[in-house]
Amino acid sequence: MVKNNLKLSLLFAFLGAIATLTLIWVQGAALAELLEGQENAPSVLVLNIISIVQQVVLTFITSFIGLSLIRKVNLEVPFFRSLVDRDYSFKWAKNWIVYAAIGGSLGSLIMIILDKFVFIPLLPTLEETIAPTSWGKSFLMSVIYGGIWEEILMRLFLMTLIIWIVTKLFRKQTNNIPSWIYWTGIIGATLLFGAGHLPATAQVFGELTTALVARALILNGIVGIFFGYLFWKKGLIYAMIAHMFFHIANFTVWMHIFN
């Protein structure tokens, strides 16, 4: 099992490197402009290499921790497990693929409606902070970085870790974990993900108002809870599919409808 977990962690680390490359692709010009004219500043290439190495190490460590804990709390990553273990059987659940795609797309619609009609009127400077970027670059980065890497970090690692900790605190046995512990992990990981956006939000706006905090927690929470539910019930790949369709629908449909 440890050997397979190491193989899986290397696979996830590779996916983390790919995700970082898409992020570099989008932010490369802005980084070069920021460093231009600065004395003794490292080159963009050096910074990009450091970013990739950091992401690979972080993804490997967090993946291995998550993989070491998932079976202790009756979770699994069946699709990915089947890629490194020939004896492990995996079969796609087509109806759950549909649920994931529709749920991710509807979550994106709800999120953009709330942002446009609730939060932007409360925060009139919000639209001014949204910098235009290349559609193709942003689309690819969102689907790969958000849909794959964020799910590895937030669901496989963080959600699993929270469930394991709560189980250790409140249960003597792990063969019959109550639903409320899983929901604690789902909601806890989602809230921490939303809270992780607050430092950047404070930097952009110069302060953190109640509306800004609510925006970060609510907009991320709407879809994060659904992704966590999919991971719990069917496995990580379905959470990834839903997260990918969240961005696909946003970029190809809702963004054009709501301008």
Put simply, whether the predicted model's pTM sits higher than 0.85 gets the answer yes
The total of other beta-carbon atoms located within 10 Å of residue 91's CB is: 8
Q: Report pLDDT for 124.
A: 63
**Helices 44-70 + 2-35 axis angle, to 10:** 150
Question: How many residues are given for the chain?
Answer: 259
CB 19 within 8 A of CB 100: no
The list of the chain residues with pLDDT below 70 reads 28-41, 124-135, 259
CA angle at residue 30 from 29 to 33, to 5 degrees? 85
Residue in this structure with the two tokens 């190491």, named with its chain if needed? 6
CA 215 to CA 185: how far, in whole Å? 21
Q: Report pLDDT for 35.
A: 61
Say how many Å lie between the first and final Cα of the chain, rounded: 49
For the record, the structure tokens of 190 come out as: 């989602």
**Nearby residues of 255 by Cβ (< 8 Å), 6 or more positions away:** 112
For the record, the structure tokens of 222 come out as: 């709407």
For the record, the structure tokens of 91 come out as: 């079969």
